[in-house]
Structure 1
């Protein structure tokens, strides 16, 4: 099974090798672009497509959507680091200062590299004499990827106390390096993101209009989905944005691409196969990291048992907490698909196994990303042969249609309206009874159990709900087994991560990497 990015990426690497600008690809210091050094570029339709392909190379970077941003999500109560790792531990304990090395220090800079490449396209492609359909699609891709990149850095590092993150567009991309300032509020970023996503939604085709060779490119529904999520985050500062969340969630549902939950009234099979390569390109996946046996998101292997029971180089990070395990209702099939508990049966490398771990500190493992490891000889066909880059053919989701429904439900409830219909669609797929007059507590529960272990971002949910301080003041429990080699071993519930002091006066955002502060001159977030 081949990864579309391999086909796109090889071309894009050639484009990047042209040295299209006079400064380096590193956008850390927000340097201006300079002039195109290869005068033959930006001439043909192939040039435009190759430039667009370059937007996606960093999607499969290990420190972006493999780990990277997930280290911040690991701060939540749903999981612990899983292994003793000092740098990772201080992130989870909110005891960092921006000098954490590769773990989180490159998320910001690499996001701005994508932004710079998008600006390159938006500067040059409008004047190219190429077909209107290709021009529109390439411009739509650039607007989407610029917005998507800003979305992640804006809510991670920006608020209304410290300000947002620098906004670099075609209009100011040639300004003197070091002259870029932070806007007064992250709301300014959300406005820019919304503007870009609206343009992307106008220009991009529906996913169903793509041929298979273009799967992995952004499409209209992805732009509409992130319009909903951007407005959901924006609503923390302006409650009138909740109506926009509902509008854009409905726009995804009615776009014409047939968006729907994977729901054949067989909850256990539906939810299990949902989290597998079988549904990479089906109706529920809005935006994902296009992955394969050669590149993509490494999250599947990162969450696998450390050393993979002697079969594969699993990394053993991000292990679920007992609190997350206990959050599931009786009869909720999502728990077994999401989490492996001691004694649970599963198939691994063609063998029937019962879960046990001599490595997991919490006594659990995420099961969502395990489907591709079940086959007798998965390496090279379903799983990367390079265990140091443990990708699989499963496209790790960044947004699913289930999240779109839950965003709509949240916006309706927060706005004093009834959110039962979208929330119960998600519950029905899980085989659960509907809720009447759902509350925010019901919504918080549903979002937690449906999206556990995904880039939906449980940590930031707790921050924006104002729940982080109280949640993190409680220790995290796991299950400590008498004999960790025995699936039937007795256990005791014990603290596996101590209570933490989360100071909401400044910890609602993370520190900007010191390398960025030093090279750009922008101020660090207060308190860090």
Structure 2
């Protein structure tokens, strides 16, 4: 499937680059009269992956969406960039020129592509099972594309963002925003529900379709949409539980579970992030890894320029606050964060981090020029493809960051955490089933099974388990839990390290001072300026 998606996405990228800038324009995929065969429809289906094509793999699935995470308390900005400072400091302007400005238009293009499939396929002379899969895939990606945007741009103050379906008349595409973001979440949940009805099980996908959505992916994403909606109405927690139960209740070849390394349980979490687990029982939905194309995110956060061994980019680094959130003995901490004095295998070399020189001696890293890049810790969670330096695992172009590890967007641990949260928030702290779910996650991390299933424990487990993963946003979590006024207004810290008497020593430093957070405006971001091309009714979020 990777080669098919790659070739189709190249074509789609060219079309996207040459097309109209109006995000509301809804063009068919190719020409309607060419949609006659199963192969024609499959090309349209694979075209739904254009957001991860080589053209967009940097702006959308590299740095793009993670820029907004810089406003959270998990992330320090690894490289000077004024427009990212705007995001972090809650003063982002609609004209902000970062990659995130492209997400809106690209995801609405995906909505348009999905709508074309949903509109045209039902009347085609194709077998029912194939039509259901095509329609289910289109419904999945319409919901997926909207869920990528809605939490960041819609709320109860400004309303939702435009809802465009296959039934929307052309004359009504430019319509006012929904009055409440729950209208978006209702549409997204409905899309994922219907997708779950139509899609095959993962075990039913042929080998050349591995990577396409399936029932468990649709149900898990419906749970995530309902989880975000529950911030506005607690009744959505019932949907979270319902959808999580669908995933957790699967049996046989489709049974989902936490990955446990049978040879060394203590390395289970670290080894989860290896290509051997790309299609394990824990990975529910991923973007397929490849050394020639695909998401570049895994190398985006690792040290800038990779000591001259490979051009990783160093954009997002962990805060000391995130590091300290892990309990002592939590194996997830060292699997997630590389701290000074630790070793990492990188491009066939053993690197002593904190610093490094070609002859292996410890050198100072305090000669870095800004507080941003002297944070002193980096993300190591996704770096397994770079261990050996083999170009069968990473791009031989040395700066494209394409790699063999799937970019996992939804996994079973997230489903467990979503259900545990719904149980705690609806049935009260100390709920027995929530305890067991959290204890299973804790046990995998090498921690005692002593969770009391409190709200604070759930919040911290979610933070530690999902840190820096591509879509379960810490920023969105903090906002929806109502913790932003306290957690997003305190200073953030890092460490600096230096060689001293043959040892690496560290010192805590304040990287960012306290911020001012306006709970009325800053729970969402400004809609990108480019989104207003071709529309008269779209309104900007208040305060921007």
**TM range, smaller chain:** over 0.9
Runs of at least 4 residues of structure 1 off by over 4 A? 12-19, 23-27
Match of 1:162 in 2: 158
Q: TM-score, normalised by structure 2?
A: 0.91
- Distance in 1 (alpha carbons) for counterparts of 2:480 and 2:239: 17
- Distance in 2 (alpha carbons) for counterparts of 1:128 and 1:306: 51
Measure how far apart 1:102 and its partner are.
3.7
- Distance in 1 (alpha carbons) for counterparts of 2:328 and 2:265: 14
**2:332 is aligned with 1:348:** no
Confirm or deny: 8 A CA contact 2:286 2:410 kept in the other structure.
yes
Measure how far apart 1:165 and its partner are.
0.6
Match of 2:24 in 1: 30
Number of equivalent positions? 517
- Distance in 1 (alpha carbons) for counterparts of 2:97 and 2:436: 45
SS in 2 for 1:397: strand
Match of 2:235 in 1: 240
1:129-166 residue CA offsets vs partner (Å, 9 max, x unmatched): 11222111111100000000111111110011101010
1:227-253 residue CA offsets vs partner (Å, 9 max, x unmatched): 111111111111111121111111111
Confirm or deny: 8 A CA contact 1:268 1:334 kept in the other structure.
no
1:5–1:174 CA distance, 2 compared to 1 (3 A): farther
5+ long unaligned stretches in structure 2 = 356-364
- Residue number among 374, 396, 407 corresponding to 2:387 in the alignment: 374
Identify the range of structure 1 (67-76 vs 196-205) with the bigger mean alpha-carbon deviation: 67-76
C-alpha RMSD of matched pairs (Å): 2.1
1:374-395 residue CA offsets vs partner (Å, 9 max, x unmatched): 11x322x111122342121111
Confirm or deny: 8 A CA contact 2:23 2:109 kept in the other structure.
no
Confirm or deny: 8 A CA contact 1:291 1:395 kept in the other structure.
yes
Matches within 5 A, 1:151-300: 151-175=147-171, 179-256=174-251, 257-264=254-261, 266-300=264-298
Measure how far apart 1:488 and its partner are.
2.9
1:230-280 residue CA offsets vs partner (Å, 9 max, x unmatched): 111111111111121111111111133110000246343211110121111
Matches within 5 A, 1:337-486: 337-357=335-355, 358=365, 360-375=373-388, 377-379=389-391, 381-417=392-428, 418=431, 419-455=434-470, 456-483=472-499
Measure how far apart 1:518 and its partner are.
4.2
Match of 1:49 in 2: 42
- Distance in 2 (alpha carbons) for counterparts of 1:479 and 1:120: 51
- Distance in 2 (alpha carbons) for counterparts of 1:122 and 1:313: 42
**2:70 is aligned with 1:59:** no
Confirm or deny: 8 A CA contact 1:12 1:51 kept in the other structure.
no
Measure how far apart 1:399 and its partner are.
1.3
Match of 2:358 in 1: none
Match of 2:361 in 1: none
- Distance in 1 (alpha carbons) for counterparts of 2:393 and 2:75: 26
Match of 2:141 in 1: 145
Confirm or deny: 8 A CA contact 1:27 1:110 kept in the other structure.
no
SS in 2 for 1:31: coil
Identify the range of structure 1 (462-471 vs 345-354) with the bigger mean alpha-carbon deviation: 345-354
1:436–1:493 CA distance, 2 compared to 1 (3 A): closer
1:467-517 residue CA offsets vs partner (Å, 9 max, x unmatched): 112112111111122449x98332221101121111111111110001112
1:75–1:16 CA distance, 2 compared to 1 (3 A): closer
Confirm or deny: 8 A CA contact 1:114 1:145 kept in the other structure.
yes
1:37–1:320 CA distance, 2 compared to 1 (3 A): closer
- Distance in 1 (alpha carbons) for counterparts of 2:386 and 2:144: 30
- Distance in 1 (alpha carbons) for counterparts of 2:419 and 2:131: 33
Confirm or deny: 8 A CA contact 2:23 2:108 kept in the other structure.
no
- Distance in 2 (alpha carbons) for counterparts of 1:70 and 1:487: 37
Identify the range of structure 1 (408-417 vs 333-342) with the bigger mean alpha-carbon deviation: 408-417
- Distance in 2 (alpha carbons) for counterparts of 1:385 and 1:305: 18
Measure how far apart 1:299 and its partner are.
1.2
